[in-house]
Amino acid sequence: MSTQPDPRFAGLPARPGKIIAVHLSYASRADQRGRRPDAPSYFFKPSSSVAATGTEVVRPQGTELLAFEGEIALVIGTPARRVGLDEAWSHVGWVTASNDFGLYDLRANDKGSNVRSKGGDGYTPIGVDLIDAREVDPTDLRLRTWVNGSLVQDDSTSGLIFPLAQLVADLSQHFTLEIGDVILAGTPAGSSVVVPGDVVEVEVDAPRTGQTSGRLQTPVVEASEGAYDEALGSLPAVDDAQRIAAWGSAQAAGLEEGAGADTPSGPAAKGLTPELRAKLERCPVATMTQLLRGHGLNNVAIDGLTPLPGSGKIVGTARTLRFVPNREDLFKTHGGGYNAQKRAFDAVGAGEVIVIEARGDASAGTLGDVLAIRARANGAAGIITDGAVRDYDAVAAVGIPVYGARPHPAVLGRRHVPWDHDLTISCGGATVQPGDIIVADTDGAIVIPPALVEEIVDAALVKEQEDAWVAERVAEGERLDGLFPMNKQWRERYEADHSRDAHA
């Protein structure tokens, strides 16, 4: 029997008896998934899944959705059974970095247990070095993840829904946490899919004191052995819902916005065609509002907006962002880090319009120049907010059309909490859904249901032509009675002129 230490556990004091992982614990990740748990929930990972830094993680043949999750690992230093919240941290001996790899191709049939999807050999890299838990503040630890040298996750324990000490205390209610047991404290937003050839690095540090785990490095490789045997169990299977979950968003997964979800259909679901967009550019908002009213839609105007200096017309599909009234405890969990506001501005695509619900409260800013620059860099068609704009002159100078209530110098935390995005919102008294068509000009901004947009724009172009002809007759001295709107005689004259012009 060998007495040599097992190299898999080089980043730990010894082989752990238990590894307990949290499903959702960071606000940024929970908001990305569209659900925020009331209490922590867990799953077990086998100790055989542990790997040291530099160990390759293998993606099995015939699979596509191997995803990383940078996490903080807590290593128990003294046994804990039914310990209170105030003493729980004293039972943690060390803190280090970990990576909770998962194979989403196997996730559906695991039904939440993650036995196969997260239990594979090498799926729990831990290390490099242990940080003494007594020397750090558990509320002030930073977690960062890089893929091929690019930073993809950057969050801190201030962004946790459930503090680290709560995880220890909660688990100790159910079983004894023994020396060497590991708790994986969950991952923030930014987790995504990696492919063979990628290298993932995770680091945990205490910025105030300088302690660090070092960078835990994991290269990704393709399996050399054959695929799974269907005679023994369920095979890997993926659908768009799993792709979105693994990649983090439909856009990141290369899917149409709304794939795998119940979202509006119509032209906006696939983006406006260049031809349709060009038609909308030619149509005044006032004319389309009148035509929408003819379809029974009287509540499509986004009220209370003023274009910033230099802002031109906006035509695009809606990308929504929602703020709720500020509550200090909620701002602590939702306001910092990679919050919903930052995620929305990062995710906006070419030709899309960020529409912000601020409840008409213009006593604090809802965006500033840096966010406007980000939206412009992504090719966004514009930004609309029923709240205030901060850095007003600087935002106007960015070169992206912005319509808002008014300027205000305060940051959003004075009145708003960035809560969630890509959902149905209310902006300026109008309901806006992701994918709705947004058009704004100096008369104001409106929302057009995707299913109606082609009919409305074609009718608007016809009406614009008619109105231009009527305006010429009025300029010639004709009376309005019978001409505006046209009676039968004027209609016949118009059609004759129009036919003659068409054949000229």
CATH of the domain at 305: 3.50.30.40
Question: Which residues neighbour 182 within 8 Å (Cβ) at sequence distance 6 or greater?
Answer: 12, 16, 18, 19, 20, 73, 74, 75, 76, 98, 126
Has residue 493 been placed in a domain? Answer: no
What would the pLDDT profile of 55-97 be if each residue is shown by its tens digit?
999 999 888 899 999 999 999 999 999 999 999 999 999 999 9
pLDDT at 318: 95
Comparing 114-118, 149-153, 225-229, 257-261, which segment has the lowest mean pLDDT? 257-261
pLDDT at 162: 95
Report the pLDDT averaged over residues 49-60.
Answer: 96
Sign of CA dihedral 172, 178, 179, 180: negative
What would the pLDDT profile of 265-289 be if each residue is shown by its tens digit?
333 334 588 889 999 999 999 999 9
Q: Do 228 and 319 belong to one domain?
A: no
Q: Do 274 and 374 belong to one domain?
A: yes
Q: Do 351 and 391 belong to one domain?
A: yes
Average pLDDT, the chain: 90
pLDDT at 264: 38
Confidence of residue 1 (pLDDT cuts 50, 70, 90): very low
Question: Which residues neighbour 162 within 8 Å (Cβ) at sequence distance 6 or greater?
Answer: 22, 25, 39, 40, 170
Best CA proximity match to 119, nearest among 106, 109, 132: 106
Confidence of residue 501 (pLDDT cuts 50, 70, 90): low
Highest mean pLDDT among 97-106, 111-120, 484-493: 97-106
pLDDT at 362: 95
pLDDT at 262 over 60: no
Q: Do 226 and 271 belong to one domain?
A: no
CA distance 497 to 182: 83
Confidence of residue 163 (pLDDT cuts 50, 70, 90): very high
Report the pLDDT averaged over residues 194-214.
Answer: 95
Q: Do 91 and 51 belong to one domain?
A: yes
What would the pLDDT profile of 222-249 be if each residue is shown by its tens digit?
888 777 777 788 788 877 778 888 888 8
Report the pLDDT averaged over residues 144-148.
Answer: 96
Q: Provide, rounded to the nearest whole percent, the portion of the chain with pLDDT above 90.
A: 70
- Quote the number of domains for the chain: 2
Q: Do 343 and 424 belong to one domain?
A: yes
Buried b (16+ CB within 10 A) or exposed e, 457-468: bebbeebeebee
Has residue 23 been placed in a domain? Answer: yes
Confidence of residue 327 (pLDDT cuts 50, 70, 90): very high
pLDDT at 403: 97
CA distance 95 to 248: 27
Long-range contacts of 150-153 (CB under 8 A, 24+ apart): 152/190, 152/192, 153/70, 153/187, 153/188, 153/189, 153/190, 153/191
Report the pLDDT averaged over residues 203-220.
Answer: 96
Has residue 464 been placed in a domain? Answer: no
Range of the domain at 118: 7-247
pLDDT at 204: 97
pTM for this entry: 0.55
Best CA proximity match to 203, nearest among 96, 353, 287: 96
Single-letter code of the amino acid located at 387: G
Q: Do 235 and 362 belong to one domain?
A: no
CA distance 426 to 184: 38
Has residue 345 been placed in a domain? Answer: yes
| CATH (domain of 34) | 3.90.850.10
Report the pLDDT averaged over residues 362-387.
Answer: 95
Q: Do 186 and 287 belong to one domain?
A: no
Q: Do 278 and 389 belong to one domain?
A: yes
